[in-house]
Structure 1
Amino acid sequence: MLAFIDESGFPHPNDETQNPVLAAVCIPKEAVRLIVQRMYKIKTDIFGRFDVELKAVNVLKPKSLTRNTNNKLFAERVVNEVLNSALNIKVFAIVMDKPERPLDVERSTFPNHYRFLLQRINGYAALKTSKCLVCFDSQDEGNDMIISHKMRNYLFRSLEGNQCTSIVESAFFVSSKVEEGIQLADLCAGLLRKYYEQIVGDSAPDVFSNWINELFEKIHRQTCSVPSPDGSKQLNGIYRIPSRLLL
């Protein structure tokens, strides 16, 4: 199994997002070829070329409903034909509130939102009696190395991490420009962020928010509850983390 991880927004008081999201799309290895084929067809059908990067920030906009309608069609076809299909894809996410102060995280410590997401990936892989390879969106060599080191410290130096036996200990870093799995994670993270900021928040309903809600309902069908690493409780697939646990 492969788990592709991406984020929408960043938990920092200076970031413009109100509800940053870290999301994972879990894909059985036998479904990868079919997913790539479907993404290839969707891109060529709509844009006449396959080298199109799917980014939530480009397609999940009010203009997609009026002017850039190809972006609306793009998002809907990916949700319907890839994510919300019979390919056994699962979505897990950690939803955060914008913190009032920067996170106090030691350099070697895996932040809680990453820990909680990895717990859910591990729980789902355990249910499927499968090992899961985790793939992050590559940023640059320095940041990639920091994430890799923090993940290994978590897996090897904490009791909880030692119990995540379904996670392959070596993380991969891939480019969103060429890897459809990261593009799917980007779309899910962006969609969830839009949902929590506009639907769960105080925004008045409009055509755009109704569209976001429709897409969210379809994505929500692709999540599930999974056992915690020690098996003592069930973890919700999409979890809104309390501010006290984020900080």
Structure 2
Amino acid sequence: MLAYIDESGFPHPNDETKNPVLAAVCIPKDEIRTIMQRMYNIKMDVYGRHDVELKAVNVLKPKSISKNTNNKVFTDRVVNEILVNILNLKIFAIVMEKPDAPLQPEEGTFPNHYRFLLQRINGYSSMRRKKCVVCFDSQDEANDMLISYKMKNYLFRSTEGNHCTSIVESAFFVSSRVEEGIQLADLCAGIIRKYNELCVGNVIIDPFSTWINELYSKLQTRSCVVPSPNGGQQLHGIYKLPLRLLMNT
């Protein structure tokens, strides 16, 4: 199994996002070819080219409904034909609140939102009796090395991480421009963030919020409850992380 991870927004007081999200799309390896073929076909049908990068920041806009309608068609087809239509594909996400101060995790340790997402990936992999390779969106060599180092520290040096036996210990880093799995994770993170910022606690009356609500409802059907690494509790697939846990790193 492969778990593609990407974020929408960043938990920092200077970031403009109100509810940053870290999301993962878990895909059985025997479904990868089907997904890539469908992504290729959708891009060719909608844009006439296959090298279009699917980015939530570009397609999840009000203008996608009123003006750039190809973006809405593209998004709807990806959600309907891939995210909700691929056998055993699952979506997990950690929804955060904007912190008042920068996070200050201990050196070499994962912040809690990464830990909690890995717990869910491990839980689903364990349910399916599969090993899972985690794939991150590559930024630069220094940042990629830091994430890899923190992930190994978590898996090897913490009691909780030692129980995550369904995760392959070596992470992969891939470019979102060429890897559709990361593009799917980016879209999921964007939809979940927009839903929490525009729809939760608000009356949905405008067409854009209505569209976001519809997309989120479809993603919800592809998440699930999974066991925690030690088997002591059940973990919700899309989890809103309390601010106190985000800051307690």
Shared fold (TM-score, shorter chain, > 0.5): yes
Structure 1 residue 202 displacement after superposition? 3.9
Structure 2: gaps spanning 5 or more residues: none
Q: Which residue does the alignment assign to 2:3?
A: 3
Q: Which residue of 1 aligns with 2:75?
A: 75
1:166 counterpart residue number? 166
Deviation (angstroms), 1:90: 0.2
Tell me the equivalent position of 1:157: 157
1:31 paired residue number: 31
Query: Compared with structure 1, are the counterparts of its residues 229 and 205 closer, same or farther at alpha carbon in structure 2 (3 Å cutoff)?
Result: same
Structural mapping, 1:142-153, within 5 Å: 142-153=142-153
- Name the TM-score, length of structure 1 as normaliser: 0.99
Shift of 1:204: 5.5
Deviations 1:9-33 (A, max 9, x none): 0000000000000000000000000
**Partner Cα distance (1:20, 1:30) in 2:** 31
- Once residues 225 and 197 of structure 1 are traced to their aligned partners in structure 2, the CA distance between those partners, rounded to angstroms, is 23
CA distance in 1, matches of 2:106, 2:45: 47
Distance (Å, rounded) in 2 between the aligned partners of 1:32 and 1:188: 17
C-alpha separation in 2, matches of 1:203 and 1:60: 19
Kept in 2, the 8 Å contact 1:148–1:171? The answer is yes
Write the deviation string for residues 128-173 of structure 1: whole angstroms up to 9, x where unpaired.
0000000000000010000000000000000000000000000000
> Residue 48 of structure 1 corresponds to which residue in structure 2?
48
Secondary structure of 1:57 counterpart: helix
Question: Percent of aligned pairs with the same residue?
Answer: 71
**Aligned equivalents of 1:52 and 1:88: distance in 2?**
26
Deviation, 1:201, is 4.4
Q: Is the 8 A contact 2:92 2:121 kept in 1?
A: yes
Q: Specify the alignment match of 1:117 in structure 2.
A: 117
Does 2:242 align with 1:226?
no
Question: What amino acid sits opposite 2:102 in the alignment?
Answer: P
Equivalent pair of 1:199/1:205 in contact (CA under 8 Å): no
- 2:194 aligns to what? 194
Provide the C-alpha distance between the structure 2 equivalents of 1:206 and 1:188, rounded to a whole number of angstroms: 21
Q: Is the 8 A contact 1:8 1:20 kept in 2?
A: yes
| Aligned pairs (5 A) from 1:173-188 | 173-188=173-188
- Residue 229 of structure 2: SS of its match in structure 1? coil
- Matched pairs, number: 247
CA drift of 1:118 comes to 0.1
Unaligned runs of 5+ in 1: none
Structure 2: distance between partners of 1:185 and 1:37: 17
CA distance in 2, matches of 1:64, 1:127: 38
Answer yes or no: is the 8 Å Cα contact 2:21–2:192 preserved in 1. yes
